Structure 1
Amino acid sequence: MMDRLARQGMILVGCGKMGGAMLSGWLKSGLPPASVWVKDPNPAGWLAEAGIHLNEDLPDAPAVALIAVKPQMMGAALPEVARLGGGGTLIVSVAAGTPIAAFERAFGPGTPVIRAMPNTPAAVGRGITAIIGNEKVTESHLSLAEELLAAVGQVVRLEDEAQMDAVTAVSGSGPAYVFHLIETMAAAGEAEGLSPDLALRLARATVAGAGALAEDATEDPGQLRINVTSPNGTTQAALEVLMDETDGFPALLRRAVGAAARRSKELSRDE
């Protein structure tokens, strides 16, 4: 797949944190810098020395145009690449809240469009991205998108675009939930007498380590929880609070994820 990109070239529209992380991954994977065209009104300093085509005229028929701008910048960004519609170029979007239909309108009929939802751990190569394509997308298109997005982490395929709202609520917004968990664990540690620096260090390392253990383990998270919970011990005492069905984690996270999913639907309707 990278050979095809090297021959035909690819375009990256928007090179902020997410776009920059992906570009860095592609270059490390062996994609020639001369095969990449980047359009960004405020490019990071390292791009000028990367050997890519920065804000230059675009090729006529690149293999892929990846849209990585914020939704509010879409109106200015899409006209620059709209001529690539029609089928010769795969359009991949990582823009939150922008449905496939919006890109079909911008690029015209016959255009293969893949909508992707990565999350912020992509910046350190530990993200997960969900993808779904329109009816013009082939297996070859999906494989190409998977290879590109694998540069920043795992990739999963969805069965229906409607699932994207739930994906947004779980993995797209999910890192913020984890960051808040770290905040609140550290604050609770302070309340029990730890210094702020020590409490934060303990909370960060605990969440990062537990996440790595959960990802690598053969057991499911429920079994891992049981493994570290001694009967009538300290962990059980805490879990009796956290697992309360009325105001513990189960009810709280259902409400939080539900709120995020509803807002994702609203944003898509506003588009």
Structure 2
Amino acid sequence: MQHIGIIGVGEIGRAVVDGLSDGVENPPRVHLSPRGARAAAELAGRYANVGVCASNQEVADRSDLVIVAVRRPDAHDVLAGLRVDERTVVVSVVAGLSLADLRRAVGPGAPLVRAIPLPSVRERRCVTVTYPSHPAVDAFLARLGEALPVADEAAFNVMSALTGTLTTHYAFLATLATWAAGHGLAHEEAERYVRGLFGAAGRSLADESRSLHRLAADHETPNGLNERVRTTWFDPANAETLAKVLDAVLADLG
């Protein structure tokens, strides 16, 4: 697909544009909606393959694949009256917007896919969950990493709930750096070490021959520091609380 439209130029929209365009030979044409005008204008100024359309309808008319990347409360107003040709694939990255709701908004005809791209599409190394599987969408996402189609919308919502833990992870790391700074380290030094520590740990996730439980066990020794923190702080009550929060998020997504 050589014409990609993006309606909603927030963080994910910007990351997709970067991933499709930055340092890419023969990048696709990217048509941006006027929503997020400042960000859209900045991207159009940076990349020759990117342009800003006058309306969302113009985005749809010019594109083979349209990504809808707006907030859920705004989705109804954004999509109201939008006419999409049956040859154009609509990919919704709106959390909690079901396929049925999306179909009611855009009408019959156009193929619809839900997706969960993350900011790492910018580096073209994102595993993007999709439902339903669509060959054109899978090929498009291969430019940005890879697609991970799931069996049904219930499974998709579980994956979506998991993404709700991302900023908690970052906040956990920030808390570690703040704690270290409180014990005399320069904050910049503490943050640099935390980034290095967990950046290296993150790379170990590429080793799919070991389960996540196995990775945890391989990184601690009996009665060692890691085991002490894990068993004291992340105890069964803590794990149960996390599961309850995820259950609540999943219920909202359903």
Counterpart of 1:198 (choices 189, 214, 217) is 189
Whether contact under 8 Å (1:22, 1:149) holds in the other structure is no
Give 2:17's aligned amino acid. Answer: L
Q: Assess, with a 3 A threshold, how the Cα gap between structure 1 residues 262 and 188 changes in structure 2: closer, same or farther.
A: farther
Contact 1:17/1:123 (8 A) holds in 2:
no
| 1:100 equivalent in alignment to 2:99 | yes
SS in 1 for 2:66: strand
Aligned pairs for 1:15-30 within 5 A? 15-27=9-21, 28-30=23-25
Task: Report the CA distance shift for 1:67/1:45 in structure 2 as closer, same or farther (over 3 A).
Answer: same
* Cα shift at 1:261: 1.9
In structure 1, distance between residues paired with 2:109 and 2:127 = 28
The yes-or-no answer on 1:10 pairing with 2:10 is no
- 1:127 to 2:126 alignment: yes
Cα 1:193/1:37, change in 2 over 3 Å: closer
| Partner SS, residue 108 of structure 2 | coil
Unaligned runs of 5+ in 1: 134-138, 266-271
Corresponding residue for residue 54 of structure 1? 52
Name the CA distance, whole Å, in 2 between partners of 1:50 and 1:231: 53
Show CA shifts across 1:185-244 (max 9, x none).
223434555443333222222222111112235322222222222222222222321442
Structure 1 residues 197 and 259: alpha-carbon distance in aligned structure 2, compared to 1, 3 A threshold = farther
Q: How many residues align?
A: 246
Q: Where does residue 135 of structure 2 map in the other structure?
A: 143
Q: Distance in 1 between matches of 2:221 and 2:166?
A: 29
**SS in structure 2 of the partner of residue 232 of structure 1:** coil
Secondary structure of 2:129's counterpart equals strand
Deviation of residue 116 (structure 1)?
0.9
SS at match of 1:122: helix
1:179 partner letter: Y
| TM-score, scaled to structure 2 | 0.82
Residue aligning to 2:236: 245
1:221 aligns with 2:212: yes
CA distance, structure 1, for counterparts of residue 188 and residue 154 of structure 2 = 43
Contact 1:168–1:260 under 8 Å retained in 2? no
1:45 is aligned to 2:50: no
CA RMSD of aligned residues (A): 2.7
The equivalent residue for 1:136 is none
Output the amino acid matched with 2:230. Answer: L
Amino acid of the structure 1 residue aligned with 2:43: W
* Alpha-carbon separation, structure 2, partners of 1:84 and 1:13: 13
- Taking only the aligned residue pairs, the percentage that are identical comes to 23
Give the letter for the 1:83 counterpart. Answer: R
2:253 matches 1:264: yes
Partner of 2:177: 186
Q: Secondary structure at the match of 2:223?
A: coil
Are the structure 2 counterparts of residues 106 and 243 from structure 1 closer, same or farther at C-alpha, using a change threshold of 3 Å?
A: closer
**What do residues 20-71 of structure 1 show as CA deviations (whole Å, max 9, x unaligned)?**
22122223544545x3322123124131453333215457474212212222
Q: Which residue of the partner structure matches residue 83 of structure 2?
A: 83
After TM superposition, give the deviation of residue 147 of structure 1 in Å.
2.5
Question: Does the Cα contact within 8 Å between 2:131 and 2:152 map onto a contact in 1?
Answer: yes
TM-score by length of 1: 0.78
